[in-house]
């Protein structure tokens, strides 16, 4: 996740306390299942193979590494505003040819069209001006992939307002319709979307197991996945 003003410090503190973000390093079943589902949904889009990928808000690099290993992009650059997260990502990249750099996703020093595709995974809901990030992503790539908490899910709204962790990290989900409108305002159009995931990151193990068993059913019902799934994923392309 991208850590941007006014809350960069809390992301750096999270990294320092957990040697990575709490949700990627803690042993809770819910966190493991939730992160794996996010990575799998991105992989299932089949958008990254053989392409240059800009990962905006790469965090500690957990999902960046997963996509590198399984999606086989041609090149990959991860950007995050939290210097501690970028340091951990670089430490853990191993022999993968991935670059991780500190940067502000609202304005990056790269030429127009530098990448084939830009990924924004779970980072727009930390920012006060997410439309500016979408606009910058379209400047750098003709295609974008966005994965965000599903703003139609009322349960997420409760968690965002009551969980000390979520409040400290400046989290608030946006309705998919609003995200799509920002894409249109930035000169793009949504060409594919889906709702997925049912397991909250920090829930008790028994809740995680129960919800995971129900996940395929909820994801497969259009009238239910829109309101019940935890994440909204879409692909958008820049208009000619």
Instruction: List the domain boundaries for the chain.
Output: 8-238
Q: In which residue ranges of the chain is pLDDT below 70?
A: 1-7, 12, 22-23, 26-27, 163, 165-169
Write down the pLDDT at residue 6.
Answer: 46
Write down the pLDDT at residue 168.
Answer: 66
Write down the pLDDT at residue 230.
Answer: 94
Q: What is the pLDDT of residues 170-179, one digit of tens each?
A: 778 899 999 9
Q: 8-238 maps to which CATH number?
A: 3.40.50.150
Residue 124 vs residues 36, 150, 197, 211, 240: alpha-carbon distances, Å: 20, 12, 18, 26, 25
**Pairing mode, strands 115-121 and 52-56:** parallel
Cα distance from N-terminal residue to C-terminal residue, the chain? 30
Q: What is the pLDDT of residues 178-188, one digit of tens each?
A: 999 999 999 99
Write down the pLDDT at residue 105.
Answer: 95
């Amino acid at each position: 996740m991208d850590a941007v003003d006014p809350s960069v410090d809390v992301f750096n503190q999270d990294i320092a306390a957990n040697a990575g973000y709490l949700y990627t390093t803690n042993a809770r079943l819910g966190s493991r299942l939730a992160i794996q589902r996010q990575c799998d949904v991105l992989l299932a889009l089949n958008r990254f193979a053989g392409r240059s990928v800009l990962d905006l808000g790469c965090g500690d690099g957990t999902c960046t590494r997963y996509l590198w290993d399984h999606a086989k992009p041609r090149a990959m650059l991860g950007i995050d505003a939290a210097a501690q997260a970028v340091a951990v990502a670089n430490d853990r990249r191993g022999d993968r040819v991935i670059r991780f750099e500190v940067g502000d996703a609202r304005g990056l020093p790269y030429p127009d069209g530098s990448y084939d595709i830009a990924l924004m995974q779970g980072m727009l809901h930390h920012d006060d001006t997410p439309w500016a990030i979408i606009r910058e992503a379209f400047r750098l790539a003709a295609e974008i992939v966005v994965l965000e908490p599903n703003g139609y899910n009322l349960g997420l709204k409760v968690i965002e307002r009551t969980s000390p962790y979520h409040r400290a990290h400046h989290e608030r989900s946006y309705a998919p319709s609003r995200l799509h409108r920002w894409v249109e305002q930035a000169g793009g159009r949504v060409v594919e979307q889906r709702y997925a995931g049912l397991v909250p990151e920090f829930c008790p193990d028994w809740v995680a197991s129960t919800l995971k068993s129900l996940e395929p059913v909820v994801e497969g019902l259009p009238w239910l996945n829109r309101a019940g799934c935890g994440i909204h994923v879409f692909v958008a392309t820049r208009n000619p």
